Structure formats: structure tokens, C-alpha cells
Amino acid sequence: MSSIDAEALYRSLVEQIRAAYGSALTAKDGAVLAGIYSGGVWLVERLAKDLNVPSFGVVNVALHRDDYAKKGLHSQASPTSLPFDVNGRRIVLIDDVLSSGRTVRAAINELYDFGRPASIDLAVLADRGGREMPIGARFTGAVVDLAANDNLVLARRDDGRFAFTTEARA
């Protein structure tokens, strides 16, 4: 497998979201950004800065995971924080890698605990396939081809830039 340029995928994602939402992301009652802990939060922090969005939400999916009993809570995970009213809002949900769709399902359940959004669009840096649920991203940096036993892991460097590594699944 060749190297996956996370920075190039990020630039593509920024342009897709900017083209679709433009000034709606900075309007008082416009669309809002929310990142899924943890890679999605790294992305949404940088997206908010690059798109001049004044605030963003953080979604912790731990309590909605179907493997909660096995994984438990991540001690360093922040609780869900949404500095906007979810009801009637267009939400752009951000994650690093889309695979089975289970994390996204958990994030949507968490959002609905806070209200009923008008719509939720999913934006991911990489789509590696392997769906177990009928979930797809509206915005995708790229579709990547990985071996079934590999995980794609996002890292954030000290300078804020992103890089991908692959790890064997446990």
C-alpha cells in the first residue's frame, strides 16, 4: 500500500465543506460543526479555524457504543459538549476514518439525546469501506484501499499537521 497523504485529504475535505456550506457555517443560525472524539475532534478544531467558524461541538460516543461493555469509557475523553441548540440545526459531523459505521451510528444517537437536528451530514478524512450499517459520508477526503486486517490511524503532529499510519487489527 502506498502512503496516504492525510494533509492532501484534509485540504480536499475543507474545499468540499466550503463549497457546500460557504457562509452558512458562520451565520448565527447556520450549519454547525461537531467532531467525534478523538480524531474527529482534531479535525474539527482545525476545520473551525480554517473555515472561520466561531465554535464547534465535541461528541463522545462512549455511552452509545454497542461494544461499551467490552471497551468501557476512555478516561481522557471529554464529555459531549455542544455550544449550540441541536434542534432544527444542520450539523456537519466530522470523523477521521469511516469503516463499519458503528461509531457514526453512536454519534448520531448521542446527538439525538440533545435534540432533533434538521439534518446531519457526515464528513470524513478517509473512507476505508467495510460497512456493517447503511451509513455513508457526504464529504470524503478519499476512499482508501486497505487490507481487511489493517486499521487506518490518524496522528496529529506537534505542528498540527495530520498523518496516517496503519496498524494490524487486534
Q: What is the mean pLDDT of residues 73-81?
A: 70
Res 1: pLDDT: 45
Is residue 16 domain-resident? yes
Is residue 163 domain-resident? no
Is residue 85 domain-resident? yes
Q: What is the mean pLDDT of residues 81-87?
A: 96
Predicted TM-score of the model (pTM): 0.91
| Residue 134, all three cell numbers | 447503511
Average pLDDT, the chain: 90
User: 37 near 77, Cβ under 8 Å?
Assistant: yes
Is residue 127 domain-resident? yes
Terminal alpha carbon distance of the chain: 20
With cut-offs at 50, 70 and 90, classify the pLDDT of residue 3: confident
Q: What is the mean pLDDT of residues 14-29?
A: 92
Is residue 47 domain-resident? yes
Res 37: pLDDT: 92
Q: Is 106 exposed, middle or buried (0-12, 13-18, 19+ CB in 10 A)?
A: buried
Residue 40, domain CATH: 3.40.50.2020
pLDDT at residue 122 greater than cutoff 80:
yes
Is residue 160 domain-resident? no
Domain region containing 120:
6-145
Is residue 166 domain-resident? no
Res 157: pLDDT: 94
- Split into its structural domains, the chain has a count of 1
Res 27: pLDDT: 87
Is residue 60 domain-resident? yes
Res 77: pLDDT: 64
pLDDT digits (tens, 9 = 90+) for 53-72: 999 999 999 877 565 445 55
Strand partners, 97: 126
- What kind and span of H or E run contains 168? strand 162-168
Q: What is the mean pLDDT of residues 106-122?
A: 97
